[in-house]
Amino acid sequence: MYNIKEYLTGNNKISRVKIVNDIKSRKLTRRDLEKLVREYEVQSAFIGKVYNNKLDKRRWNQDYLDQLTHRAIAESFNQDFLFYLDDVAEYVSLKKRNHQTFYICCGIAAVGLFLYVTYLK
């Protein structure tokens, strides 16, 4: 659950950096983001309405996510962009977890094969 006060700076301005980083790190959920973008303080910090530079999902990776976070802070902070950033961050996060699971399974299989060959031969 988000708290709008977490995203306000000392002079009651929205911290774009904190919002973007929390989306990127998956600390801010989609449901929280949907609520957050309805806040007046957030809407007043928006630049434009639409993000037009979206890439095909096949090109989404960690480097692209990093590039997007820099763009959001400097030039593309709006509702459309934040939801797009959330989609990319979720995709990259799931992709990373799938790779980790694959490597863990390979490691377990290798240990199992080693034990089989070593002790049951």
Is residue 7 within 8 Å of residue 36, measured between CB atoms? yes
pLDDT at 110 over 80: no
Span 76-85, mean pLDDT? 93
pTM, 2 dp: 0.76
Phi-psi region of 45 (alpha: psi -120 to 50; beta: other; left: phi over 0): alpha
Q: What is the pLDDT of residues 6-65, one digit of tens each?
A: 999 888 899 999 999 999 999 999 999 999 999 999 999 998 889 989 999 999 999 999
Going 93 to 98 to 103 to 104, the CA torsion angle's sign is positive
Share of the chain above pLDDT 70, in %: 80
Q: Which residue has the higher pLDDT, 117 or 44?
A: 44
Per-domain boundaries in the chain: 4-119
* pLDDT reported for residue 98: 47
pLDDT at 66 over 90: yes
pLDDT at 112 over 70: no
Torsion of CA 5, 69, 95, 25, to 10 degrees: -20
